[in-house]
A = this chain, B = another copy of it.
Amino acid sequence: MKKSLVALALMGAFSAAYAQSSVTIYGTVDAGVTKKTDTTTAIGKRDNNKLGFKGVEDLGSGLKALFQLEIRYEPDTGTLESGTRPLFQGESRVGLQGDFGTVRLGRGLTALQASNTAFEPWSGLPTPAGFQTDLQVAGYTTAYGIKSGSDPLGPAGNSANRFSNALFYNSPVFSGFQLNATVGTKENNGNLAAIQGTSLNPLLPQYAIGANGSAVPYSLSGTFNNGPLAAMAAYERNAIETKLWSIAAAVTPMPGLKLMGSYQKQDQGHTKLTNPDTKAWILGANYTVGAGKFLLGYGQKTPDGVEKTKQASAGYEYSLSTRTYVYGELSQRKNSLVAGDSVKYYGLGIHHNF
């Protein structure tokens, strides 16, 4: 490969036109030693591990063509993420960008799920110390045996924060404001099991194996960024009509310090007869000093008439370069009613971007 690039470089000196397009290979390898209450010491990860291919083509007059394909994998075993997820679990999208904003087709994070990570102290990292996969979506992922999340009609084990078969729109930024919208289809995306819970009660809508959704899923978010202030309001309804909304804000009172908070509510009234609502809030801080970065977070999740889940986490990242850092983190999660949901977690590892 090295050889080839050089060949092309030499060639390139004579063809400036070539400079108009690009393909970039990028990725993340993150691995560490992890320990969770009552489980054996393991080699695990803190971040999603990625190997991606993306490109931009300049079509002239401000128009661009974009694509991105992102493989996700587990570094400790070399398998695809969760062993069964799509090859391009990260995303597979193609589209156009211009004065009108960005329009893409394919599979990727929903508007809500793509916007809320900026208001979560772990920036949406999937580590147990982070808050995004559960508290920041008010248990949207799955709750009490009812498969939900953004992709309830996907195969078991599929990620819960993406739409497949969707159209993605991001507006231009107007004086700090941006609108983001994702609209999916009712297509069943290979779900192998009937949505649980619906079968528990004939009064509830039934989603048989392989059935399409009962509504067109969509996700909306509005974000605001202006100097030390940032804010978000977002709403999503998935194909089985579970609803989720979230509001969040962040402030940077002094250089290096970021304080953030969010509140979110999930409504499963369409597929759950009793206690369909779940509320959650998170407070967090990031403090950067020299090559070090401290992360702190605390949050609670409160399902109707069920005991609260409480989570407190602390982490530290030490940068060896702009692309590489080592980290340590610990987290405590408490919920006396959910078996195995009261755990301490420790992680120590290395994170490398390429």
Asked whether, in the complex, the Cβ of A350 is within 8 Å of the Cβ of B105, the reply is yes
Asked whether, in the complex, the Cβ of B22 is within 8 Å of the Cβ of A7, the reply is yes
A323 smallest CB distance to B (angstroms): 6
* A190 located at the interface, meaning its Cβ lies under 8 Å from any Cβ of chain B in the complex: yes
A82 smallest CB distance to B (angstroms): 11
**Could you say how many copies of this chain the assembly holds?**
3
Asked whether, in the complex, the Cβ of B42 is within 8 Å of the Cβ of A23, the reply is no
Which A66-103 residues have C-beta < 8 A from chain B?
67, 69, 71, 73-80, 83, 86-96
Residue from A29, A63, A324 with most neighbouring chain B CB atoms (10 Å): A29
Asked whether, in the complex, the Cβ of A21 is within 8 Å of the Cβ of B3, the reply is yes
Asked whether, in the complex, the Cβ of A77 is within 8 Å of the Cβ of B189, the reply is yes
Q: Which of A53-61, A264-272, A330-338 contacts B (4 or more CB under 8 A)?
A: A53-61
Q: A10-B18, A43-B105, A96-B350 are in contact. List 16 more A-B contacts (CB 8 A).
A: A2-B11, A4-B24, A5-B9, A5-B12, A6-B15, A6-B19, A7-B21, A7-B22, A21-B323, A29-B94, A31-B94, A41-B186, A49-B92, A67-B354, A71-B87, A78-B106
20 residue pairs bridging A and B, Cβ less than 8 Å apart = A6-B9, A9-B9, A10-B19, A21-B323, A27-B53, A29-B94, A31-B93, A43-B106, A57-B323, A57-B324, A57-B352, A65-B324, A73-B88, A73-B92, A76-B107, A76-B164, A77-B86, A78-B106, A80-B87, A96-B350
